[in-house]
Amino acid sequence: RLVFASEDAAVIYDFNSRKAITLTARANDRDSLISIAFSPDSKSVFVFRDEAVQTWDVETRKLIRTWKPSGSGFFGNVSPEGNYVIAGGGPIYGKKSVEIWKTSDQKKIGELSNFRSGLFAMAISHSEKLFALAGGDYGLGGDLSLWTLNDPHEIGYVSFGEFPIDGLAFSPDDSTLAAASNDGFVLLYAVNRIQGPEVKPQDYSLCGEIVNEGNKAVYQKGLVQWPATLDMHGNWKS
């Protein structure tokens, strides 16, 4: 099976029958679907709506449980082992919130709200020890922060370019974090080197960049360098 969520509906596609079934649809103009993810055993799915997180049974297509985040939804996902759910986000100007629950009892273990700018993307490490958040502001740069999961607190922060970062993914071994920037780059960060915020230049690159050259994607090592200081908005400057 394949699951897919658009703004209007969450859909299950069965490869054997070649049928697409709408699991749940947009309820009103204020409602929207954000994302959908299988549980580890594939027997249920987590549906992330603008104002709710829901669990649905795949076979019966019945709602199992639902809970309501305190903030607006920009992203949501379940951890690889199915032990945690993280949902939240926020616009550049306005409330920003990220909430973390244990899936076993829907107990909230953390709510984060002190963010520098817009919050548009999230990724959970395969080990379930870390998660990353990203966003930024148009013209002021992209933000990326690294957090512990079980006892949520920020352990690293970096920024890049002039536009937000709106896509994140950990490598299978959690050693590398890929970040998609609206500047037109995919940035590759070595996870164990994301610290900070740094206040002095470093003499090594975090990892490298993937850039478009004509019709090819080219990996260029050694392009990501730390600037020296932070400005009043929390952005790096040379």
* Each residue's pLDDT tens digit, 100-142: 988 877 788 888 887 878 999 999 999 999 999 999 998 888 9
The single-letter code of the amino acid at 58 is V
Q: Which two tokens stand for residue 38?
A: 């299988």
Distance CA 23, CA 25 (A): 7
Distance CA 197, CA 199 (A): 7
| CB hemisphere CA count around 59 (13 angstroms) | 3
Weakest-pLDDT range from 11-15, 65-69, 133-137: 65-69
- The pTM of this model reads 0.75
Report pLDDT for 199: 46
Residue 228 has pLDDT above 70, yes or no: no
The residue that leads in pLDDT, 161 or 235, is 161
Contact 117, 140 (CB under 8 A): yes
Report pLDDT for 226: 41
The single-letter code of the amino acid at 221 is K
List Cβ neighbours of 224 (8 Å cut-off, separation of 6 or more): 160, 187, 188, 189, 205, 206, 207, 208, 209
The residue that leads in pLDDT, 51 or 45, is 45
- Cα end-to-end span (Å), the chain: 49
Q: What is the mean pLDDT of the chain?
A: 83
